[in-house]
Chain A
Amino acid sequence: MSLWVDKYRPTDSSKLDYHKEDAAKLKNLAQSDDFPHMLVYGPPGAGKQTRITCLLADMFGTGVHRMRIHYITFTTPSNKKMEITTVASSYHIEVNPSDSGIYDRLVVMEVLKSIAALRQPDDAGKRPFKVVVLTEVDRLTRDAQQALRRTMEKYSASCRLILCCNSISKVIPAIRSRCLNIRVAAPTEEEISRIVMNVFREERITLPADLAKKIAHQSNRNLRRALLMAEATKVKQYPFPAGATPVIADWEQYLDTTARMIAERQDAPRLLEIRSRLYELLSHCIPATLIMNGLVKKLLENCPDNTLKAEIISQAAIYEHRLQQGNKAIYHLEAFVAKFMSLYKRFIEENTMDMDF
């Protein structure tokens, strides 16, 4: 028994709920003999992994779903033993090279080499290659990406790559051009609420339509989050009272409070408090971009003026960019908060002065 997210995950492309045309195209591709390297990208919770699995199932049959955990060990140049966990079926292997930090280049090279070396026994007319799924490619270091581009070509006879990432802006163009890029857009809110309703129907639970909408809205167009939220809401509040609200993740509530505090008062001691809250969020392994997005969203809600809003959004963009460029998130988050405080305070002061005169 598993969570609804996993329980109702489609297992082949005919069962996919949205982006059906794309699914059909992919299925066609899977039927054909040839198959290029692929780069699947899209926001989290859009169903990239699901689509990849469906594609693999179309190609190799249900044997793909029989997976086992496979450990790969390798030795770094500094004689350190590293072990990474991969999930493999007899047709494919899924690796998350960014788990091994700065040694990801080695992972890419070693894994691909070892897989390419083992040629598929081409009996039963199966395809003569294995598929390697690399996840979180955007977190690969530049080195690893450079290593990848050569390996992709070298071993293309015996293995195909499916790369999976959130954003291709961090993938070097050389790799992008070697792959068939497939964008998986996030489902719309209607699609999400429909899927949630379907799941509840399957579970034989009545769900008020407005609650489904609320969940879809709250989920930020992230289907995984929507389904988890729906399940949590069911556990907490079933039978649903009128006007029930979905369960919100605790860290989001924490972030809301933080945003409220920022809008409340702007001075150095408050900034200090905000910093400790940001530290708290970061230490709970919440990704910095999520924090940034959440903050901006909440802060904009409190924003009274449109020009100020535009200014804040442009500043947020600058600092989010810095977040990507920099090393430690806290500095950029704090710099953004300081910038917001300074902008906001000046705006408020100017306006009150206008009112005085």
Chain B
Amino acid sequence: MPAVTKEDSPWDDWPDFSDEETNDEPVVARPVKKKNKTGALGLDLFMTNMGISSAAAAPPIPPRISHSTTPVERDPTVGLFSGDIYYPGLEEESLEKMDKSEHSLAPALENGHKKSSVARALFSLRPTAPADIAVPDVPVIPHRTMANPPAIPEVFHQQLSEAFEPESLPRAQPPQRPSGYRREASPARPLPPTPVTSRLRVWRVASKTLPQIPVLSGGTNFFLRLKPANWRKELVNEFASTTAVTITSHQSSRQFANLLLATRQQMEIDAELPVDSVTGPVESLQVEFKNMWVEKYRPERYMDLLSDEGVNRCLLHWLKLWDAVVFKKEAAFLNPYKDYGKRKKRDDKPVYDRRKYGGVSDFCFTVDADKRPRFKAALLCGPPGLGKTSLAQVIARHAGYEPMEINASDDRALEVFRSRVEATVMNGSVVNQFVEGGERPDRPKCLIIDEIDGAPGNTVEYLVCLLKGEAKATEGKKKKKIGLWRPIICICNDLYVPALRTLRQCTMILRFPSINRERLTGRLSDICKHLAVQADSAVLYTLCEKSDDDIRTCLNSLQFASVPGKRLHMQDVAKATMGCKDQRKQLLQIWEDIFRLPSGYKGSDTRTGPLHTKSGLSPSDRIGTILEMVQLGEMEKIVNGLFENYLLIHHKDPSLRTAHECADWRSYTDIMERCVYEDQNWFLLGYLSFYPVAIHLLLAALATPRFTFPTAQYETYKKTIANQEIIKALLKDLAPALLRTSKSENLPSEVIPFLTHIIQPPLKAVTTHLLSNAERLDLKRVVHLMISYGLSYQEEKTLTGIHTEKMEPQLDAIASWHGVNTYPGMPTTVRAMVSKEVQQQRINVNARMEGTKSGGHDGEPANMEVDITQDAPAPALPAGVASKANPSTTTRAQANSNNTAKLQVWSVYDCYRKNSPATAPKAGGSSKARKIWFRYKEGYSNAVCRDIKVKDLL
């Protein structure tokens, strides 16, 4: 007998409609344990798949075989429940035949007791079936006869369960448990009968490849699927071949199937463990949400996930990479690109297909020195309703973790967040999977940070530190670095939120593509079937289309619109409000939609006019769509983009009429904008969005538009601001007489263009001695003008090491124009010469000013006036003017004050010395070697720029 465990094959693609808590549904306990011991493998498997209990495993209500005690009133027309043959079709001889075949049949069928249990099981297939199911006399065609009894060992294939799924029974099959973690033993209750007529479905043959046993019972067929000894392997193969549509490589998909099997095993191990108390309250909480279809049909198994296969795989792979660290076992499947990444030649393209793994590069699947994955966190991003949170939860459970979710509804202040994270991902000991005595071990936690794009910035920063391994533990003096030993999955909608900028660099980013619409439609129709809502797939398809494949929106609107047992009509869905999301489209998308005719537009031929009115192609519909789209978007950016791009679009008419009209519209809108934003006439705001409409109607074409992101406006703005700053800088230093005539308005257009000419005469690049008299006068004038306008040249070295003299403030920038060659650029050497002269002159001017000032204040003895030199530039020309500590030096100082003569300075410190003026000159005279220079900066207290010791002064 082959060792068959209760193995749900991974390709059990049946959506998991587990709904055990709903009152109306009968709940049956599942035999999860002891299966290996009873040996009733095949049937158990079958029955568990059907969600019913076998007799061996404590059946809650053993459905009685006799007529009288059957809780359900039987209808003689229903063959299955007719009560006479409950062991239908499995004739003794066929059983024996099977028995005798080299592969043994499941021993459950061998004795009578087991047989009756099987019968009960079969009976309880429809324990809830109300009595008055009016099944008409359906002609049941036996698909096969028993002509070829199978020669292979068999297990009831689970597809049988699928085969039993009637298309339109009011109550669907009994709730099916996932091979999950929760179990409940609530007793089954008989269902109040609901009078619904329906028809019975003709069951189809599940598989053509494997032999089956048709079981005849009053017009009903059963199939037993027989499985060979190496069935699992074959199933893997089968799986590999069936999913080959999406998975290109046979080998990788087989590997993947193995991986799935491994994880599934692990899940079963978990399932066998007793439910701990933690999940209890969670479950009771969930009861309240179960009425929402979104919660009710949240996927619980990997195969139920609707999100993109590549993304799912990628995340699972990444999570399994943690096995080495978390479970201390070698990861079954390290790098999916391992075999493909090597290129043979340089020209070869990499063979592996990134699409299979969500477009993630193989770098993500490498591990670091600690055997942890390179990226310690995954960042899932995508618009809402694609199943990001579900994916994270399911995969975390799937890989044996306990998901721990932090989302926006939690407190995410740094301290709280830190404590939670540290409790979760800190250096935990290796988890023991199998604890003796049936104790449930702590499963490792996987941190799921949902809606991270709304988290406070410091929280994200902390997370980044953690990921980089730089975070420090809070408690303890040692400040030990926290190791990150558990996976973190972050989820966000908008990847480009500024707060996430740093996080992006240290996570594996998984972008969610939109969901396959066919799959979503299929799932929706399954759900409808399950809830007995009749809905055409076309209707559901429209719903998906309208909601942009948002699962959540689809389900919610479906729940809203549907009435059990009634048909969902197209007009319900086609209503404007159904399933539509107010959502902002991407800017580029909006621009493209505006510049492009809607798909299906058949030219502007008037004869086909009626055709346009059909679906969104009539002009009014187009106007409506554009308006709606624009009003939801960022108006300013949209309009900017249109303005910058409308000339790039092909204009059909050569007379530029359209271009001119577009420009006219823009200028008109600009006036309106001013009315709105400056004069606060907000009622005009609604009309601003007609500019895109006008552009659309004028320019939309069938071809894909080429356009660029608008930058010119912003660049011009920046440049204008920079130039205005220059003008401000120029105005700042002007003398009052000049200032009053120089307005910021006329400076750039009138003064500066000529001023730059005037101060840059054609001077020869020679030293000042060699200049002629006239040239010297010119130079003098230039120097004076530059001083009065506060201009100077600053030495600068370019990157290439060329020495340049730059005008400061940079009038060059304002006065020079691209393409105009008359701008007078003085050679650098001349500029240097002028610069030197300007500096010297400035010093002279200051000194002169000082001289007049000190002359004016003469006769105030203890007035400690210090020279004011603004930035004496050249050390060769130290500027210092004497203060007047005593009258005798004052005269000297004044005598010399007109130029750069070196003066002894008697400074502030004089007043700390003796009061007698007689000693001062002596001190000054005796200490001629010690000259003290002051530089006094107005407004600063640290006026003395040189350290002086007291003994120097004495």
Residues of A bordering B, CB below 8 Å: 1-3, 5-6, 9, 44-45, 49, 65, 67-69, 85, 87, 94, 96, 99, 135-136, 222, 224-225, 228-229, 231-232, 235-236, 247-251, 253-254, 257, 266-269, 271-272, 275-276, 279-280, 282-287, 290, 319, 322, 325-328, 330-332, 334-335, 337-339, 341-342, 345-346, 349
Give the distance in Å from the alpha carbon of A254 to the alpha carbon of B815 in the complex.
11
**Distance between B595 CB and nearest chain A CB, rounded to angstroms:** 14
A85, A99, A282, A342: residue with the most chain B Cβ atoms closer than 10 Å: A342
Give the distance in Å from the alpha carbon of A5 to the alpha carbon of B737 in the complex.
12
The reply to whether A345 and B655 form a contact with Cβ atoms under 8 Å apart is: yes
A-B contacts besides A326-B667, A349-B655, 5 pairs, CB < 8 Å? A2-B737, A232-B758, A249-B749, A275-B712, A342-B657
Give the distance in Å from the alpha carbon of A228 to the alpha carbon of B659 in the complex.
40
**Distance between B473 CB and nearest chain A CB, rounded to angstroms:** 42
Residues of A within 8 A of B737 (CB): 2, 6, 65, 67
**Distance between A316 CB and nearest chain B CB, rounded to angstroms:** 13
Q: Which residue of A lies closest to B780 (CB)?
A: A1
The reply to whether B671 and A325 form a contact with Cβ atoms under 8 Å apart is: yes
The reply to whether A338 and B660 form a contact with Cβ atoms under 8 Å apart is: yes
The reply to whether A247 and B667 form a contact with Cβ atoms under 8 Å apart is: no
The reply to whether A2 and B660 form a contact with Cβ atoms under 8 Å apart is: no
CB contact under 8 A between A335 and B667, given known A1-B785, A280-B818, A345-B656: yes
The reply to whether B754 and A231 form a contact with Cβ atoms under 8 Å apart is: yes
Q: Which of B747-765 contact A (CB under 8 A)?
A: 747-751, 753-755, 757-758, 761-762
Q: Which residue of A lies closest to B672 (CB)?
A: A326
B-side interface size class: 35 or more
The reply to whether B815 and A331 form a contact with Cβ atoms under 8 Å apart is: no
**Distance between B11 CB and nearest chain A CB, rounded to angstroms:** 58
The reply to whether B660 and A3 form a contact with Cβ atoms under 8 Å apart is: no
Residues of B within 8 A of A269 (CB): 647
The reply to whether B754 and A1 form a contact with Cβ atoms under 8 Å apart is: no
The reply to whether A319 and B785 form a contact with Cβ atoms under 8 Å apart is: no
Residues of A within 8 A of B643 (CB): 331
Residues of B within 8 A of A267 (CB): 651, 654, 656
CB contact under 8 A between A271 and B656, given known A236-B761, A280-B818: yes
Q: Which of B708-765 contact A (CB under 8 A)?
A: 712-713, 715-716, 719-720, 723-724, 727, 731-732, 736-741, 743-751, 753-755, 757-758, 761-762
Give the distance in Å from the alpha carbon of A328 to the alpha carbon of B737 in the complex.
33
The reply to whether B667 and A235 form a contact with Cβ atoms under 8 Å apart is: no
Q: Which residue of A lies closest to B762 (CB)?
A: A236
Other-chain residue from A235, A248, A250, A326 in contact with B671 (beta carbon distance below 8 A) = A326
Q: List 7 A-B contacts (CB under 8 A).
A: A1-B788, A3-B785, A49-B740, A136-B743, A224-B746, A326-B673, A332-B670
The reply to whether B720 and A282 form a contact with Cβ atoms under 8 Å apart is: yes
Q: Which residue of B lies closest to A328 (CB)?
A: B670
**Distance between A224 CB and nearest chain B CB, rounded to angstroms:** 6
Residues of B within 8 A of A331 (CB): 643, 663, 666-667, 669-670
Give the distance in Å from the alpha carbon of A3 to the alpha carbon of B791 in the complex.
14
Residues of B within 8 A of A345 (CB): 654-656
Q: Does B784 contact A (CB under 8 A)?
A: yes
CB contact under 8 A between A284 and B716, given known A67-B737, A236-B762: no
CB contact under 8 A between A339 and B660, given known A67-B740, A250-B817, A250-B822: yes
Q: Which residue of B lies closest to A346 (CB)?
A: B655
The reply to whether B750 and A228 form a contact with Cβ atoms under 8 Å apart is: yes
Residues of B within 8 A of A96 (CB): 743
Produce 1/0 per residue, B791-832, CB < 8 A to A.
Answer: 000000000000000000000001111111011100000000
The reply to whether A1 and B784 form a contact with Cβ atoms under 8 Å apart is: yes
Produce 1/0 per residue, B459-484, CB < 8 A to A.
Answer: 00000000000000000000000000
Other-chain residue from B651, B670, B754 in contact with A249 (beta carbon distance below 8 A) = B754
The reply to whether A69 and B739 form a contact with Cβ atoms under 8 Å apart is: yes
B664, B677, B743, B754: residue with the most chain A Cβ atoms closer than 10 Å: B754
Give the distance in Å from the alpha carbon of A6 to the alpha carbon of B740 in the complex.
11
Q: Which residue of B lies closest to A228 (CB)?
A: B754
Q: Does B674 contact A (CB under 8 A)?
A: yes
**Distance between A44 CB and nearest chain B CB, rounded to angstroms:** 6
The 6 A-B residue pairs with the shortest CB-CB distance in the complex, in nearest-first order: A249-B753, A228-B754, A1-B784, A232-B757, A283-B719, A335-B663
Residues of B within 8 A of A287 (CB): 745, 749
Q: Does B781 contact A (CB under 8 A)?
A: yes
The reply to whether B755 and A228 form a contact with Cβ atoms under 8 Å apart is: yes
The reply to whether B678 and A254 form a contact with Cβ atoms under 8 Å apart is: no
Q: Does B648 contact A (CB under 8 A)?
A: yes
**Distance between A207 CB and nearest chain B CB, rounded to angstroms:** 16
**Distance between A275 CB and nearest chain B CB, rounded to angstroms:** 7
The reply to whether B788 and A2 form a contact with Cβ atoms under 8 Å apart is: yes
**Distance between A318 CB and nearest chain B CB, rounded to angstroms:** 10
Residues of B within 8 A of A346 (CB): 655
The reply to whether B660 and A250 form a contact with Cβ atoms under 8 Å apart is: no
**Distance between A53 CB and nearest chain B CB, rounded to angstroms:** 8
**Distance between A237 CB and nearest chain B CB, rounded to angstroms:** 10
CB contact under 8 A between A99 and B754, given known A254-B817, A339-B660: no
**Distance between A256 CB and nearest chain B CB, rounded to angstroms:** 9
The reply to whether A85 and B656 form a contact with Cβ atoms under 8 Å apart is: no
Other-chain residue from B669, B750, B784 in contact with A45 (beta carbon distance below 8 A) = B750
The reply to whether B670 and A268 form a contact with Cβ atoms under 8 Å apart is: no
The reply to whether A6 and B667 form a contact with Cβ atoms under 8 Å apart is: no
The reply to whether B749 and A251 form a contact with Cβ atoms under 8 Å apart is: yes
Residues of B within 8 A of A285 (CB): 720, 723-724, 727, 744, 747-749, 814
Give the distance in Å from the alpha carbon of A290 to the alpha carbon of B753 in the complex.
15
The reply to whether B750 and A44 form a contact with Cβ atoms under 8 Å apart is: yes
**Distance between A5 CB and nearest chain B CB, rounded to angstroms:** 8
Residues of B within 8 A of A271 (CB): 647, 656, 659
Q: Which residue of A lies closest to B720 (CB)?
A: A283
Give the distance in Å from the alpha carbon of A85 to the alpha carbon of B734 in the complex.
11
Other-chain residue from B678, B740, B750, B815 in contact with A250 (beta carbon distance below 8 A) = B815
The reply to whether A275 and B655 form a contact with Cβ atoms under 8 Å apart is: no
Give the distance in Å from the alpha carbon of A272 to the alpha carbon of B663 in the complex.
12
Other-chain residue from B678, B731, B755, B820 in contact with A85 (beta carbon distance below 8 A) = B731
Give the distance in Å from the alpha carbon of A85 to the alpha carbon of B740 in the complex.
10
The reply to whether B656 and A341 form a contact with Cβ atoms under 8 Å apart is: yes
Residues of B within 8 A of A286 (CB): 748-749
Residues of A within 8 A of B660 (CB): 335, 338-339, 341-342
Q: Which residue of A lies closest to B727 (CB)?
A: A285
Give the distance in Å from the alpha carbon of A346 to the alpha carbon of B674 in the complex.
33
The reply to whether B656 and A268 form a contact with Cβ atoms under 8 Å apart is: yes
Q: Which residue of A lies closest to B673 (CB)?
A: A327
CB contact under 8 A between A326 and B674, given known A254-B820, A257-B819, A339-B664: yes
Q: Which residue of A lies closest to B712 (CB)?
A: A279
The reply to whether A247 and B750 form a contact with Cβ atoms under 8 Å apart is: no
The reply to whether A254 and B749 form a contact with Cβ atoms under 8 Å apart is: no
**Distance between A118 CB and nearest chain B CB, rounded to angstroms:** 19
Give the distance in Å from the alpha carbon of A251 to the alpha carbon of B727 in the complex.
16
**Distance between A72 CB and nearest chain B CB, rounded to angstroms:** 14
Residues of B within 8 A of A335 (CB): 660, 663-664, 666-667
Other-chain residue from A65, A224, A341 in contact with B750 (beta carbon distance below 8 A) = A224
**Distance between B790 CB and nearest chain A CB, rounded to angstroms:** 13
Q: Which residue of A lies closest to B781 (CB)?
A: A1
Give the distance in Å from the alpha carbon of A45 to the alpha carbon of B677 in the complex.
34
Q: Which of B669-685 contact A (CB under 8 A)?
A: 669-671, 673-674, 677-678
The reply to whether A338 and B739 form a contact with Cβ atoms under 8 Å apart is: no
A222, A236, A326, A339: residue with the most chain B Cβ atoms closer than 10 Å: A326
Give the distance in Å from the alpha carbon of A269 to the alpha carbon of B654 in the complex.
12
Q: Which of B817-871 contact A (CB under 8 A)?
A: 817-820, 822-824
B655, B660, B744, B815: residue with the most chain A Cβ atoms closer than 10 Å: B660
Give the distance in Å from the alpha carbon of A279 to the alpha carbon of B643 in the complex.
13
The reply to whether B663 and A268 form a contact with Cβ atoms under 8 Å apart is: no
Residues of A within 8 A of B655 (CB): 342, 345-346, 349
Residues of B within 8 A of A282 (CB): 716, 720
The reply to whether A322 and B748 form a contact with Cβ atoms under 8 Å apart is: no
